Structure 1
Amino acid sequence: MNKYLLSAAVAASALIAGNAYAQQTYTFALVPKNMNNPFFDQARDGCKKAEAESNGAFKCDYIGPGEHGGGEEQVQIVQDLVARRVDGIAVSPSNAAAMAVALQAAKEANIPVLTWDSDLLPENKDLRVAYIGTHNYEIGVNLAKIVQTIKPKGGTICIQSGGAAAANHNERMKGIRDTLAGKESAESPGDRLTGQNGWTEAEGCPLYTNDDFPVAVQQFQDFMAKMPNLDAFVPTGGFPQFVPDANRAAVTPYKDKIASRSLALVVADTLPVQMDQMKEGLSLGQVGQRPFEMGYKTMFALKDIKDGKAPPTDPTYTGLDVCTPETADTCIAK
């Protein structure tokens, strides 16, 4: 009798353990460059939608630096996630070189890593399974193509970037420079424009915002005050437009120049707050990414990896939306 009871208890324990295993909930971290950015808010929303659709299979832990990116703080957050032994990490590196240190620890802990929005440096790509996000070089190409239609003879340009160590912004800058120059440079952020095809970069540019939006607006104001006849101003991210009231105040004095196409103000990203400003005459073009899709796809890709399924294609590009005032109502993919 005791023998049968013992066997039944063992079987019950095995069943309980099996059910617990079958119902295991993974924790996947989505790590943006900062958490005060409407671009990354959309990635968060995609991540949370994936969580809801997973029916309890995984939890989206959206965690990152509070403001302005900041490579060191983001690296520390990823190191903490590794120490917590989360089941997977999807990160948009602020500082590609610094992030490699934290991701080496993740690799040693057998925690799968995806990059999104921004990738690692080429020599460190073995530290992640795949990149899911924008073809960043193509953002720069498309920004430059809009500028070329406005200023076919060239001119003086100022490029505004997020950070000198941000791989995605450097790739976008290379796309701008290569397209305007008509010649591909060897590596990011590309060769400075010094007259190629009529294009020259203004002294003091590129400008680096370090993802500080009010700083981005102030840089535009200061630079235009110094060089009011600038031909093109091109931010590689939506930084100034993410503080719309401040940006409106800064750009409105130049609306006539924008309308007459004497100033080619063309900006990356196509969030609603940005599209509103373009429709108000505060830019002549927007080249947008799909951050919601990035947050959504990375979660299910990590789930597949944990379940032993095929990893995502490396890279997996999420597409672009190229918008001008004429196409504003139809340019964004549904």
Structure 2
Amino acid sequence: MGKNTVKSVLLLIIITLLPVFSVSGKTLKFAVVAKFQGVFFDQSGDGCREAAAELEEVECIYLAPKKGDVRLQDKMIKQMINDGIDGIAVAVTESDFLARNSMQKAIQSGIPVVTYDSDFDAPTREKYKNLRRAYIGTNNFELGRAFGEQLKKLRPDGGKLIIQTGRPDSPNLNLRVMGVRSALSGKIYQTPPGEILKNDNGWTEVRLPIPNYDKINRAVKQMESILKAQPNQADSFIAVGGWAQNDEYQYRRMIDPFKQKLAQKQVVVIISDASEGQLAMLRDHLAHGNVGQNPYEMGRLAISTLLKIVKKQPYEEMIYTPLSYCTPENYAVCTH
């Protein structure tokens, strides 16, 4: 075998052993950047990785700050841009800060951005053009309405409500709060989070929504304080995120002394999301209702949408994922 033949055979072997790359000549790297570490966002990471495995030409990089801190999130995004990421999906923690910082770097670098779970709020999108190409996730106003409608079924004559939120400047959570208020009051509000309920259709908010700043421990303690109150400060509690139930052991331990109070509907408890652990708690009557989202599908659709954008294919600019309406009666089938 001559030298040229040997070289040709070796070259053929090397080419055969190389990984399969995309049409552009490289594996595309897409980052999915969550608000914080937790059961909900980890499911979006699972969806992201599953989609990447199916598409083959894509690598998913899932990132989640340990806590809900916009500066940590912004730093992660900037690092991804420096590392040459091909596309970014971000659950927006705080609209204006990200828009002024990492998003400007992404735009200047020509890196497409989509949002999932939490979009940039309307004023920020108006101020900064072309921030993101698409939003994938829950219709957050409709999610808020779903909380309110569930509560109305359980307490049709109205009552005294406390709403728990995360960050008071979180755009998706403010839409949810507005949805709750709209469902209960029958009013239409122009700007999130709407107006505090004051005997609207029999509903009054005891105080402004309680922010937990995406901290599970704080969310659990806030719930415990509300349930401990004697006499009851509020007879209804809505958490527009799943924070307190993100640690199943901690939630079960906190709420165990109040099982009778829940059974008698002295306080009605409705919480966002429907993970396996949350459905188990619903089965055990440790809440009255959960409205589930689909973070797994958000992660999948974020990756497939970014791929379409990079390949200059048609894509949807607004993709709403479905809700699941879960009760102690239908917990076993509500997310199917």
The question of 1:53 aligning with 2:19 is answered no
Deviation at 1:224, TM superposition (A): 2.7
Match for residue 204 of structure 2? 200
Equivalent positions of 1:322-333 (< 5 A) are 322-333=325-336
Are the counterparts in 2 of residues 39 and 271 from structure 1 also a CA contact under 8 Å? yes
Alignment of 1:33 with 2:40, yes or no, is: no
Aligned counterpart, 1:111: 111
Q: Distance in 2 between the 1:20 and 1:169 partners?
A: 40
Decide whether the 8 Å contact of 1:178 with 1:191 is kept in 2: no
* Distance apart, 1:304 and its partner CA: 0.9
Work out the CA distance in 2 between the residues paired with 1:310 and 1:124: 25
In structure 2, give the amino acid aligned to 1:224: L
Q: Residue 214 of structure 1 aligns to a residue in which SS? A: helix
1:220 aligns with 2:223: yes
CA contact (8 A) 2:212 2:219 kept: yes
Q: CA deviation at 1:266?
A: 0.5
- Cα deviation for residue 176 of structure 1 reads 0.4
Pair 1:132-2:132 in alignment:
no
Tell me the residue number matched to 1:42: 43
The equivalent residue for 2:3 is none
In structure 2, C-alpha distance between the alignment counterparts of 1:215 and 1:297, rounded to whole Å: 32
- 2:67 aligned with 1:91: no
C-alpha displacement at 1:227, in angstroms?
5.2
1:320 maps to 323
Cα 1:21/1:155, change in 2 over 3 Å = closer
Structure 2 residue 301 is the aligned partner of structure 1 residue 297: yes
The alpha carbon displacement at 1:105 in A equals 1.9
2:69 aligned with 1:70, yes or no? yes
Q: In 1, distance between residues paired with 2:300 and 2:117?
A: 13
Q: 1:267 aligns with which of 268, 271, 275?
A: 271
- Following superposition, the deviation at residue 151 of structure 1 comes to 0.9
**What residue ranges of structure 2 are gaps of 5+ in the alignment?**
1-14
Offset at residue 249 of structure 1 (A):
2.0
Q: CA RMSD in A?
A: 1.8
Cα displacement (A) at 1:228: 4.5
Distance 1:265 1:58, change over 3 A: same
CA contact (8 A) 1:266 1:286 kept: yes
SS in 1 for 2:201: helix
The 4+ residue runs of structure 1 with deviation greater than 4 A are none
Deviation of the 1:71 alpha carbon: 1.0
Tell me, yes or no, if the aligned pair for 2:217 and 2:244 is still in contact at 8 Å: yes
What one-letter code is carried by the residue in structure 2 that aligns with 1:121?
Answer: D
Question: Once the 2 structures are TM-superposed, how far is the Cα of residue 20 of structure 1 from its aligned partner?
Answer: 6.9
The amino acid across from 1:250 in the alignment is: M
**2:98 and 2:74 mapped to 1: Cα distance?**
6
Q: What is the TM-score of this pair, normalised by structure 1?
A: 0.90
Q: Distance in 2 between matches of 1:280 and 1:264?
A: 15
- Per the alignment, residue 8 of structure 2 pairs with none
1:9 aligns to what? none
2:26 paired residue among 24, 29, 40: 24
On the 8 A contact 2:220/2:254 being kept in 1, the answer is: yes
Distance 1:172 1:128 in 2: 21
Give the distance between the partners of 1:195 and 1:186, measured in 2 at CA: 20
Are residues 221 and 20 of structure 1, via their aligned partners in 2, closer, same or farther at CA, if it must alter by over 3 Å? closer
Match of 1:8 in 2: none
CA deviation after TM superposition for structure 1 residue 21, in Å: 6.8
**2:279 is the counterpart of 1:280:** no
The equivalent position to 2:235 in structure 1, one of 231, 235, 238, is 231
Distance 1:183 1:194 in 2: 12
Deviation at 1:190, TM superposition (A): 1.2
For structure 1, the residue ranges without an aligned partner over 5 or more in a row are 1-14
Distance 1:114 1:86 in 2: 13
Q: TM-score, normalised by structure 2?
A: 0.89
| Deviates further, 105-114 or 287-296 | 105-114
- What's the offset of the Cα at 1:58? 1.0
Q: 1:261/1:222 Cα in 2 relative to 1: closer, same or farther (>3 Å)?
A: closer
Higher helix proportion (structure 1 or 2): 1
Partner SS for 1:197: coil
Instruction: Mark the CA change 1:199 to 1:58 in structure 2 (over 3 Å): closer, same or farther.
Output: same
Q: Secondary structure of the residue that 1:329 maps to in structure 2?
A: coil
- Structure 1 residue 168: deviation in Å? 0.9
CA shift for structure 1 position 314: 2.3
Residue pair 2:284, 2:328 contacting (<8 A) in 1 also:
no
Aligned mates of 1:143, 1:26 — CA distance in 2: 39
The aligned amino acid for 1:216 is A
Q: Which amino acid aligns with 1:103?
A: M
Report if the CA contact (8 A) 2:44-2:295 is conserved: yes
Q: Report if the CA contact (8 A) 1:287-1:323 is conserved.
A: yes
- 1:214 CA drift (Å): 1.0
Number of equivalences = 313
